[in-house]
Chain A
Amino acid sequence: DADVTQTPRNRITKTGKRIMLECSQTKGHDRMYWYRQDPGLGLRLIYYSFDVKDINKGEISDGYSVSRQAQAKFSLSLESAIPNQTALYFCATSDPRISGANVLTFGAGSRLTVL
């Protein structure tokens, strides 16, 4: 089984719908992240959490919200999806106490298409 699991892997939805992307991890890492990947733009940070009671905005948080339900679970929500949120979304985890630096482990990605 994958260390970082994302569901769903693919989702097509319509403008205005609420969407939740879920992430769970078995690595025991404290830190979890949500990134968005668009062609030619690399990976941009949406939200991150350093522990269950900690939630922080990244560089592109507008239009998104997150919930850290447990150490192992971090979900990303789009309250009212719009077409420019069509992208590949990645969840990642890290724990500098283990790796010595903030090295990220990524999930396989969730491809979201908003029509």
Chain B
Amino acid sequence: GQQLNQSPQSMFIQEGEDVSMNCTSSSIFNTWLWYKQDPGEGPVLLIALYKAGELTSNGRLTAQFGITRKDSFLNISASIPSDVGIYFCAGLQETSGSRLTFGEGTQLTVNP
């Protein structure tokens, strides 16, 4: 079953606000990925993290690989309407045979 706990499950924000979401686990991961799924489409990779403590930005998005290797967060600054979608974290463990484990997703709604 799922080993990643992603929160919050949903967020309703106003345009211009900052957003933060995170994934936690009781297990250690050696890669963290953040994906975004637009309505009617498949998930698309936003950011990949490969080292504990790593902080990576992609435009208005910033993600961090937790120092304990058991968590990761994604921040979106100055949200805009096209940020609407479902955001998934995914983690890769040494023992998983290269299979990713996905969080349950965060549904983001941005009101203009």
Which residue numbers of A lie inside 8 Å of B, CB to CB? 4, 31, 40-45, 48, 50, 56, 58-59, 90, 92, 94, 96, 100-109
Cβ–Cβ contact B42 & A109, under 8 A: yes
Give the secondary structure class of B's interface. Answer: loop
* Additional A-B contacts beyond A40-B9, A42-B88, A106-B44 (8; CB < 8 A): A43-B102, A45-B99, A48-B99, A59-B1, A94-B98, A102-B31, A104-B100, A106-B42
Cβ–Cβ contact A102 & B9, under 8 A: no
In the complex, number of A-B residue pairs with CB atoms less than 8 Å apart? 62
**Most chain B CB neighbours (cut-off 10 Å) among A96, A101, A107, A109:** A101
Q: In the complex, which residues 10-67 of chain B have their Cβ closer than 8 Å to any Cβ of chain A?
A: 31, 33, 35, 40-45, 48, 50
Which residue numbers of B lie inside 8 Å of A, CB to CB? 1-2, 4, 6, 9, 31, 33, 35, 40-45, 48, 50, 88, 90, 92, 97-100, 102-105
Residues of B within 8 A of A45 (CB): 99-100
Cβ–Cβ contact B99 & A108, under 8 A: no
Interchain residue pairs with CB less than 8 A apart (6) = A42-B6, A44-B102, A48-B99, A58-B99, A107-B42, A109-B42
Cβ–Cβ contact B99 & A42, under 8 A: no
Cβ–Cβ contact B42 & A102, under 8 A: no
